[in-house]
Chain A
Amino acid sequence: MTAAVAFGLIALIVVGAALGLVLKRNPIHGALFLVVNLGGIAALYLTLGAEFLAAAQVIVYAGAIMVLFVFAIMVLIPGKEETGPDPRRRYRLVAVPVGAALLVELTLIVARRGAAPPGPAVPGGVETIGRLLFTNYLFPFELTSLLLLAAMVGVMLLAKRT
């Protein structure tokens, strides 16, 4: 019962923050809404027993990635870009029925599966994930480090004033 109430509350916060991101015109407000959304998803990870991911979500997403976003917004000051009439309003309004159709399809897929009996509990601690990453997923793990290095070099190259 408590779990259901907690899930409902967090789900409300998460969906509300997501709508705020899409509907607010000021990108800084959108970024703050996204932080709330990411924090809510971290809480959902906790309710699913994924403690490590919840911590990683807060550190990597709400911490590192959102700081990068806020930096970019501050540097570019695009606050006034979306004021004024929309030159492609007719096309953008199509997004509403298309998005609604997508939502209906996705929920139909979920609903058709029906309720399944709950599976066994998943260990979500650091030890389980770490063991998995360094045994079954060792190669992708090392590839990820290569990817991050490539991204770092690429960003430096792109951001350098020529």
Chain B
Amino acid sequence: MVPESYYLALSAVLFAIGVMGVVVRRNPLVIFMSIELALNAANLALVAFGHRHGSPDGQALVFFVMAVAAAEVAVGLAIIVVIFRVRHRLSVDDLSLMRW
């Protein structure tokens, strides 16, 4: 049996990679995919914690995270498509309209 702390360490690595993807990449689609990566790392940690405590609640929580992520991806991609329609370019460096 692999101890849960290994899963948590793997989750930490994945989360860090996802955060770096969000910061480093310029394409909003790739940034979005990196967010999904970080979300999945959090899910993995949740399942590992649930496994540790012997309760299925962590898995129920992950179920809800999946549903919210699906809604989030749908809305986010629609927003990206609309931005592309207006600007004809896709780079987060151009999207400084709401910057203070």
Residues in chain A near residue B43, CB distance under 8 A: 41
- Consensus secondary structure, chain B interface: helix
**In the complex, which of the residues B25, B33, B59, B71 contacts A82, with contact meaning CB atoms closer than 8 Å?**
B25
Cα separation A121 to B4 with both chains bound (whole Å): 13
Number of contacting residues on A, CB 8 A? 85
Indicate if B95 sits at the interface (CB-CB under 8 A): no
Residues in chain B near residue A41, CB distance under 8 A: 40, 43-44
- Consensus secondary structure, chain A interface: helix
Chain B contacts with A in 70-99, Cβ cutoff 8 A: 70-75, 77-82, 84, 89-91, 93
- Cross-chain contact A3 with B79 (CB below 8 angstroms): no
- Cross-chain contact B56 with A132 (CB below 8 angstroms): yes
Whose C-beta in chain B lies nearest to the C-beta of A60?
B66
- Cross-chain contact B63 with A152 (CB below 8 angstroms): no
**In the complex, which of the residues B10, B26, B66, B71 contacts A56, with contact meaning CB atoms closer than 8 Å?**
B66
- Cross-chain contact B24 with A154 (CB below 8 angstroms): no
- Cross-chain contact B33 with A69 (CB below 8 angstroms): yes
Chain B contacts with A in 15-41, Cβ cutoff 8 A: 15-21, 23-27, 29-30, 32-34, 36-37, 40
List 12 additional A-B contacts (Cβ < 8 Å) besides A22-B30, A22-B34, A110-B5: A21-B17, A21-B37, A27-B33, A49-B51, A57-B66, A61-B40, A68-B74, A75-B81, A119-B51, A122-B54, A129-B56, A136-B60
